[in-house]
Structure 1
């Protein structure tokens, strides 16, 4: 099994295979609209704009598992992100990222991240995973890692 075998729901409710992103570098992030880290949306959008033409795609997965900080509907989340952070990177339907109902994507990410950068957990909103163009998980970043601090790793993976 690879990351490309996993299906997800777009924020508008359509089923999409991650195989659509084969050959792209991915930054996969669990997001929330009412969190102290919500301004990370701005940095994520900036990375997307800066590296999109070189092959980076940021994938946002809203999650309400941390202190109820993503209570909105998918439509409300999309509107919030567009209005407040001008998000143009793909957003997906709300998911669980941990526990018995964790989405298969997050189960895969947690079990396939290299040990030297694996925390074994999604500790909060805005945990980030960098995936290379071959679908290999390169690194997991903590929730508090600012998007700009990932730029050098993105550049190395895109090189």
Structure 2
């Protein structure tokens, strides 16, 4: 049995009172790498390829929830501390191959993303990991630009 889908709140019905706080400086910050939900996801992928934990962290909302391969990992900060951060230390290079992104906007402040890709990881000990993956995400827009609010990724061997 399929769950009934709920409709998104139309943009005109959403609370826009916080927009008065947008300053030209905030608008400029939002335009750098996070002007669109696509750019936020591309920036995350680039930060991962660059093994740049600080850049990745800036792209996630404080309350973001990460799910990887069916396991809830907590907030991005928690996920980075116990999972991704230690992994990055063992990675020599990380490369995405043939990435795709599909974005569905829900009004002005929410978007859902679907990504597919292959990736190749070279570890410092010489091992190579090649997998095919996909990710779904929920992104929100606020005065700081687009941030990732939910991120679920999974992968399987390339075959």
The TM-score bracket by the shorter chain reads under 0.3
TM-score (normalizing by structure 1): 0.27
TM-score (normalizing by structure 2): 0.27
Higher strand share: 2
Higher helix share: 1
* Higher RCO (CA < 8 A, seq sep 6+): 1
**Structure with max Cα Rg:** 2
